[in-house]
Amino acid sequence: MVKLDFGGVTEDVITRKEFTVAQAQKILKDEVVATLGYGIQGRSQALNMRDNGVKTIVGQRKGSKTWDLAVKDGWIPDKTLFTVEEASKRGTIKMVLLTDAAQKEEWPNIKKGLKKGDALYFSHGFSIVFKDQTGVIPPKDIDVILVAPKGSGTSVRRNFVDGSGINSSFAIFQDATGKADQRVKAMGIAIGSGYLFPTTFEKETYSDLTGERGTLMGALAGIIEAQYSTLREHGHGPSEAFNETVEELTQSLIRLVDENGMDWMYTNCSETARIGALRWKERFRSATKPVFDSLYELTAAGEETRIVLEKSKEPNYKQKLADELKAMGNSELWRAGATVRSLRPSKQKKE
């Protein structure tokens, strides 16, 4: 492990330098990893593990679009591609990467395949932490582990292919075999993590749900919409409003934050921008902190998970979701975004 110092707070993390892919392969050499679900996260993790030489199979519903995608990706029906129930029977480590609602629905089929000494693997603690809502209660004679990549499945695969990896948290809920620690670390490295940091199932669930509803998606989209609307209401054109709200953020500033941090980004902006931003940062922080406190409390209380399970059961859920996303995409804000993106200069190849 590597000890990181966060200004007096230390944390032990695992990198690929001291826990290599070769070590992960050795630990997993007698395992059959069954990836249950072939959505964005399942597909990426399964492909990464296969590319890393780990014996991997996929469980997915026959006749679905994702079944066809799995076949296109080289998974062979009845050899490396099965139904969820059959893959669960064949796997010794079952990666439960179905949607949270589907995990509840498929749990009886997954449970049928559990054998003493197996491992259940999750990338989100939802089903385990809120077992009263999901009914996912593992037997006591199996390991229950978690590796949660801090990014979308698209990034998990993209970063693996370019060799950088994506950071992931890891946790052990139940160690029945004495091998859970080695299993979870090996799995974390095998799916392509850049480094692994420790958490618990509860903390991962609460932080993940808060982050998605907060700065990663909900708050980000809401703040962008608010600023764009304000500029448009005061007579600024779509190009100006979009560029000042989104394009400069995604194409310039956030890249500077990524390189060296927020303070470094500030030092690379004008004095006028820096003075104003430092002052207004406090106002935005004061305004939004109570919202985040409420969000975390509702998440920990199980209200957010209850809503997810309830809404996903509605017969017209998929259509309602598609309609909401279509409305977002058809808004002037994001139509302006599509136009602006189309006008970006194409990258010139070096001679």
Condensed to tens digits (0 to 9), the pLDDT of residues 35-67 reads 999 999 999 999 999 999 999 999 999 989 999
Residue 97 covered by a domain: yes
Residue 1: pLDDT over 80: no
Residue 205, in any domain of the structure:
no
127/80 same-domain check: yes
What pLDDT, on the 0 to 100 scale, is given for residue 347? 62
Report the percent of the chain where pLDDT is more than 70.
Answer: 99
Whether 265 contacts 256, CB under 8 Å = yes
Smallest Cα–Cα separation from 143: which of 99, 187, 102? 187
**Sheet-wide strand order for 2-6:** 2-6, 9-15, 193-198, 166-174, 143-149, 119-122, 93-96, 33-36, 56-59, 81-82
**pLDDT digit string (tens) for 145-194?**
999 999 889 999 999 999 988 999 999 999 999 999 999 999 999 999 98
d(CA 44, CA 308): 24
Q: Please indicate, yes or no, whether residues 238 and 113 belong to a single structural domain of this protein.
A: no
β partners of residue 174 = 144
Q: Which domain holds residue 38?
A: 2-199
Q: Do 97 and 219 have their domain in common? A: no
Residues 285-298 have a mean pLDDT of: 97
Q: What's this model's pTM, rounded to 2 decimal places?
A: 0.90
The answer on 194 and 53 residing in a single domain is: yes
CATH code (residue 44):
3.40.50.720
Is the pLDDT confidence value at 348 over 70? no
Domain annotation covers residue 251: yes
CA 131 vs CA 112, 177, 239: distances in Å = 18, 22, 48
The pLDDT confidence band at residue 310, using thresholds 50, 70 and 90, is very high
Q: How does residue 7 score in pLDDT terms, banded at 50, 70 and 90? A: confident
pLDDT higher than 70, residue 351: no
Residue 178 shares a structural domain with residue 306: no
- Check whether residue 135 and residue 239 sit in a common domain: no
**Can you say whether the dihedral through the CA atoms of 131, 136, 140, 146 is positive or negative?**
negative
* 90: in domain: yes
Mean pLDDT, the chain, rounded, equals 94
The closest of 92, 124, 94 to 107, measured between CA atoms, is 94
- Residue from 124, 183, 185, 213 carrying the catalytic annotation: 124
Query: Is 234 considered catalytic here?
Result: no
**Is 171 found in the same domain as 53?**
yes
Domain final residue, candidates 199, 226, 260? 199
184: Cβ–Cβ under 8 A, 6 or more apart, which residues?
Answer: 121, 145, 146, 147, 170, 171, 172
